[in-house]
Structure 1
Amino acid sequence: MQAYKMSPVRRQQAMTLLLGAGSLLLVAAIVASPDDVFQASLQGLTIWWKIVFPAMLPFLMLSEMLLAFGAVHALGHLLQPVMQRWFRLPGASAWVLVLGMSSGFPAGARAARQLEERGELTSRQSSILGTASHFCNPLSILIVIGTGFIGKPEIGYILIAVHVLSGLLSAWIMARWVLHKPVTAAASASTVIPQPGWLEAMHSARLGDGRSFGRLLGETVKNAVQSLLMTGGYMILFSVVILILMKYITPGAPAVLWPAIMEVHIGSYAFSQTDGTMLWQAAWISAILGAGGLCGWFQAVSMLKPADGGAVFGIGRLLHGGLAFAMLWLLWPPVQRWAASAEPALAFLTGSGTSGSMPVHPFTLWGQWEILLLPAGLMATCLSVLALASWLTRLLSRAASR
């Protein structure tokens, strides 16, 4: 008997019917529980307005300005060996990677899409770059999760380090799995020392943009705010969806199930409130940060608009989450010893040097200028590491050619 095969038109009609029925059920659940839905919406709005919006707005504006001024082209010229040999991507994508590591998603996906629209990346390369640059905001990991949820800022620093290292490793694996074409010796030699120089490339890109500073500043603010408004809408919507799933669909399921799947902040908070050991909590929170949740997945894919519908990006998120869980679990013994010795030095974040003290509310830490310097320090560190790796790669290439 021949198996029935649904036509593309029928498949689209079935998907339309499914989405329509799901939307109708969601509205009915909201009408049935207005008070609970309001509290869930308020929770998502609070996290977005007090943490995500002020942390990401400057970096989104800065990324568009750097693209317009040609700094991305100059940086790409200097870091081409690293991006081509490690991730099989053009050198201009180096800034996108650093931007994602320092400001969090979906800034990396948005910048990768801009490079694709400029013709500097293919659709497949844009998917890989979006996967490689999809990191959680380090300020949010330290203040909200490490200090506010767990009550131990030293764990927040460990989560940041594991998050970045596992993300780079997963991007390295994904680049070799998706981008099958290797970088040949001839191509590598021709791109390690590109022409013209970095200053000429920067000036050419600036002339190609052509916008005045006033116009650039206005459009930068508008685009950044629009992007963040979409992010806030996603966070509020998924807060409501999590509530409805827990209340009506799976009332007997573990309380951490849907928050972990849907949204990183709510999922991290749910695991921080469990009765498990610190290792168990930190490992699962690390996995949640790496996976990014469906909320982060939809945000990034809506900006990337990949031809494969986000399949490559989804596989990269699962790989990042699995590596982050395994890496923190394996490194926990030395991490625990370091955390015990570092706790007194980080007492200013919790107001006391004792581990049992009640942590300060994370939103009150925005007045401490030391915390605001963390993204800038991380960006400078990432740039320094990439620049050193680029110099070593060039040196090795010249030695091998002799």
Structure 2
Amino acid sequence: MDTLDALADGARTELTDHILPYWANRAVDVEHGGFVGRIDGHDRLVRGAPKGSVLNARILWTFASACRVLDTDRWCDEADRAYEALRDAFRDPVHGGVYWSVAPDGTPVDPKKQVYAQAFTVYALAEHVRQQGDDAAEALAWAQGLYRRIEEHAVDSVHGGYIEAFARDWTPLADVRLSEKDADAPKSMNTHLHVLEAYTTLYRVWPDAGLAARLRALIELFLDRVIDAETGHLGCFFGMDWAPVSTVVSYGHDIEASWLLDEAAAVLGDPSLTDRVREASLRIARLTLDALDADGGVFNERDGGHLDTDKHWWPQAEAVVGFLNAFERTGDAAFAEAATQTWRFIQSTVVDREGGEWFFRVARDGTPYREEDKVGPWKCPYHNARACLEILERADASVTA
């Protein structure tokens, strides 16, 4: 059995027996509809917790993609539930866009317009359209409208790229941070990566010439500005003129970008752009091999001489996909071995065999941080479910090729 087949067997089981059932069984909000805002690290519901648009968009993306790939009625029904929750609770009927967070009953809590959240909503809606086809005209129109809002309000016409956040009415915001852990910088790699991801999927269902131009501009922005030409790593935070304002290297974002950039270039179909992206992508993937611990886990980040050796759930998921993508592009067995090692680490250490789902993060010795959420604004099914779905789709493509 080759690497892809072995990973596919494990991914199908992980997805259908562990990840998706946790969210369908434990995270549905039976009182208010949609999905709950928070479940703690001991699998206890936190009543009254706000619901985040990013979490809800990621839930929609996950179930829509699972419905499309697995063709299972249960996951299709959950996708419908997630779509209705996102539409009914988070959509701003006055100024457009989606709120950052709402109360369980749908009352806005934080109505700011974080471009990151707009992008994830576009990503989820576009995947819902891929799933439903012609039956998703409403979702497609909404995604197109959000795309136009982003382009109208968030584009920096002088230096390129997108400004991080705005007030509810799209006026400037004093503090544009995505979270308390982030720098208060006007531009971030993270937001741009997920705008790129969203535009890639939107282009699959709406091959608009203007959208293609914006996606190309994003890819070139990564190649020319976000990726450090000297180190090969991605910068994390930038000033308006793209001067770096951070020295952090985020290994999870590096390896995630390596395959998302490759995918974006492939969707556009320009061979010269694809070649440029592939060179940068493979360099990033090789650099990420150095972030692997002896047990196969991926370290969190490095800032100068300080290495954060915690292992968060999402870089592990992204590493499997990124290494697998690099293996498919090169045939280099080192990437296949890395993908396999990280998958084994996930299965042995990151998956919560008793409570379900994956731990948010574990220490270097494998001890889980129980104070971290199982469900929350930053804990979702998108990274781990997507890794499984990517493996399954790539395995299927290799059979039919």
TM-score with structure 2 length normalisation? 0.27
Structure with the higher strand share, 1 or 2: 2
Which structure has more relative contact order (CA 8 Å, sep 6+)? It is: 1
TM-score with structure 1 length normalisation? 0.27
Structure with the higher helix share, 1 or 2: 1
Larger Rg: 1
